[in-house]
Amino acid sequence: MTNYGYDFKQLRELKGLSLGALAKEANLSKSTLSRFENGETQLALDKFMSALASIEISLADFEYFQEHQQLPLITEARSQIQPTKEKKAVSSLAINLAKIDSFVSKSDMTGLLTYQLGLAEEEQLLKILCKKYLSDLGLDMLLPEADIQYIRDYFQNKTFKEIAELRIFLLFSDILESGFELSEQVLLNLAKEDFKAVLQFLSDQLEDALAKEDLSRAKQVSHYLTLLVKI
């Protein structure tokens, strides 16, 4: 089983954080974090995501670091910005997205389907997202019209409270009508919460879209970045 502790330790040291300081920031015991970094144990996903948030590294950037042993250039540039003093706890929505990502990255359709079936009824948005990913992975299924309407109703005049919602919005952009665009006010609300995190997310999205030669999504994200810079 792959242990992520070694790479995490390198990133912690690159950030200039001591083991004790990070353990306190991530609400972990120093001994647990030490054993994780030394490859002796794994961290639960929610604790790992909390630890990543504490060193201000996204899951995508962590995976890039694992492969290339360096951070993306845009992340290095962002690291020069003075970090905020307060860091928010990772939301349940963000944790669920990370779990879904883990299945998608491995093309694990069985795991994704099982996870989707285990979601509660009030997590309908995530259930539909799982269906979309299952289709993308080759299940060859179309979203029912009721699901499409649910997505449109959900995002109609939506005021996002966290980046996880913004990410889901972009993932469903292909089934939303042209009228569903982020307003400057929506970005302003998110930016008030954590401007740096919003900038990082949109920058990562642009990089990903360009890497996949998805020019339509790249154009869309570029537009949102332009709005953000104007704020």
The CATH number of the domain covering residues in 5-78: 1.10.260.40
So what's the pLDDT on residue 146? 92
**Measured between alpha carbons, how far is 126 from 86 in angstroms, rounded to an integer?**
28
pLDDT in tens, 123-140: 899 999 999 899 888 877
Confidence of residue 177 (pLDDT cuts 50, 70, 90): low
Q: Using the predicted structure, report yes or no on whether residue 188 has a pLDDT greater than 50.
A: yes
Mean pLDDT over 173-181 rounds to 68
Confidence of residue 226 (pLDDT cuts 50, 70, 90): confident
So what's the pLDDT on residue 87? 42
Confidence of residue 178 (pLDDT cuts 50, 70, 90): low
> Which range is least confidently modeled, 47-61, 133-147, 167-181, 193-207?
167-181
Task: Give the whole-number percent of the chain exceeding pLDDT 90.
Answer: 6
Axis-axis angle for helices 124-134, 163-171 (nearest 10): 40
> Which range is least confidently modeled, 75-79, 105-109, 191-195, 202-206?
75-79
Confidence of residue 2 (pLDDT cuts 50, 70, 90): low
- Which runs of consecutive H residues, i.e. helices, occur in 119-214? 124-134, 145-155, 163-171, 184-211
Q: Using the predicted structure, report yes or no on whether residue 231 has a pLDDT greater than 70.
A: no
As given in the structure block, the two tokens for residue 225 are 């970045």
**Coil vs helix vs strand at 107:** coil
So what's the pLDDT on residue 77? 43
- Which runs of consecutive H residues, i.e. helices, occur in the chain? 5-14, 19-25, 30-37, 45-54, 59-68, 73-78, 92-105, 109-118, 124-134, 145-155, 163-171, 184-211, 215-230
Mean pLDDT over 198-208 rounds to 81
Mean pLDDT over 137-166 rounds to 83
So what's the pLDDT on residue 124? 92
Residue 136 CB-half CA count within 13 A: 17
pLDDT in tens, 61-111: 788 777 777 766 444 444 443 444 344 456 788 888 888 888 888 888 998
